[in-house]
Amino acid sequence: MQDQLNALKLEVEQAVAAAKDAAELENIEIRYLGRKGELTGLLKGLAGVSAEDRPKIGALANQIKVQCEGLIAAKRSGLEDAALSNLAETEREDVTEPGVRPPEGHLHLMTKAINEITETFEKIGFVRTRYPEVDWDYYAFESLNMPPDHPARDEWETFFMDAPVSEMGKMVLTPHTSNSQVRELERGEFPVRMINIAKCYRRQSDATHVPMFHQFEGLYVDKNVSITHLRGVLDYFAKSFFGADRKTRLRPFHFRFTEPSFEIDISCGVCGGSGIGADKQKCKICKRGWLELGGAGMVHPNVLKAAKVDPKKYSGFAFGWGVERTYLMKEGMQIDDLRALYKNDLRFLKQF
Ligand code: FA5
């Protein structure tokens, strides 16, 4: 038994000397000195040793255990010291090395469009406002001359909120930014020169319609405002946003909240308004020389009355266009599916 104990000590000495790191050292400790380790195993044989030799062997075993523990502890602190003295080498930082550039994002195409539209209108004294994107039926429809059950409401394919109803009706996800008209007029500060850009929601989803999109709503109300002012603002916008050579035209249309109402077209930037492409065929972008921008018109007297504004004293114009379609027209971008804008596919978004 004495020989076995000495052999074990030798083995531990060799193993400790060869250990390269703390993990290896720990394995050695468990293997030889642990509760189920080799030394404990050997000591179980102590029962078979004669009563006379037992104290001597017991004392030897204890001595070897203490020595082995000492060896392991010394090696452990040696390894720690070595790791510390290597620190200067392993963790050295070369401050002159070029840095690693973190991935850099950029604003979403539509955020850029909104910023640009805002700046364009701010230059002629319009002020960007914010009104609720979840609003009462009253502001989205009723105050805009569309009483409950009026068939014109169907065009807006509205999402209704599952929420309590008030004297202003149900709550809706605003299907257009025109909900801002009466809200802005109710402030009673004239002249009104509002540009309201917000999210709109409709139960529509196909290549040219997204269920969540943006509109920008212009409202100008003062004394003696006429269609000439509307034309002036439209021309200014078309030229500053799309280019000096672009023209606008008004086409008669019908909205319940403007009278007269128009659809606004802008001359096509690709064929220059001729409708004929470079290949002498019909222009592929517009087919007829003009692209549709959105709706506009002179504010209906009933809308002014809803906001307690006297239509005999004040008049004004309003327009409402889709940010997505307007911006794509500017860039002459042919995105064959508008829904790509909101898929969050970085491969697509990084191009802009
Ligand atoms: C309106 O929403 C009127 N409120 C505009 C208006 C305001 C007229 C003030 C008069 C005075 P319309 O439903 O045509 O009109 O929508 C206007 C524009 O919003 C469209 O020309 C289009 O550019 C954009 N638009 C409408 N629905 C969608 C959709 N689902 N996805 C993307 N763009 C849309």
Q: How confident is the model at residue 44 (pLDDT cuts 50, 70, 90)?
A: confident
320 Cα: distance to centroid of ligand 1 (angstroms): 6
288 Cα: distance to centroid of ligand 1 (angstroms): 21
The sign of the torsion formed by the CA atoms of 178, 180, 182, 184 equals negative
**pLDDT tens digits, one per residue of 167-201:** 999 999 999 999 999 999 999 999 999 999 999 99
Report whether residue 296 contacts ligand 1, using a CB cutoff of 6 Å. Answer: yes
CATH 3.30.70.1450 describes domain 109-135+172-349: no
C-alpha–C-alpha distance, residues 332 and 100, integer Å: 36
| Greater model confidence, 87 or 248 | 248
255 Cα: distance to centroid of ligand 1 (angstroms): 11
Best residue among 156, 200, 264, 302 to mutate for probing ligand 1, ranked by most atoms within 8 Å of CB: 200
Domain-wise residue ranges, the chain = 2-88, 109-135+172-349
189 Cα: distance to centroid of ligand 1 (angstroms): 27
Q: What is the mean pLDDT of residues 215-231?
A: 97
Name the residue with tokens 């002459």. 332
Q: What is the mean pLDDT of residues 280-298?
A: 88
Which range has highest mean pLDDT (32-41, 96-105, 122-131)?
A: 122-131
Report whether residue 202 contacts ligand 1, using a CB cutoff of 6 Å. Answer: yes
How much is the pLDDT for 334? 65
C-alpha–C-alpha distance, residues 108 and 351, integer Å: 11
Q: What is the mean pLDDT of the chain?
A: 91
Question: Which residue has a Cα nearest atom 2 of ligand 1?
Answer: 176
How much is the pLDDT for 182? 98
Report whether residue 209 contacts ligand 1, using a CB cutoff of 6 Å. Answer: yes
Name the residue with tokens 């609003």. 135
**pLDDT tens digits, one per residue of 243-274:** 998 889 999 999 999 999 999 998 888 788 88
Q: How confident is the model at residue 319 (pLDDT cuts 50, 70, 90)?
A: very high
How much is the pLDDT for 331? 60
Tell me the whole-structure pTM to 2 decimals: 0.74
Judge whether residue 88 has pLDDT over 80.
no
C-alpha–C-alpha distance, residues 118 and 217, integer Å: 11
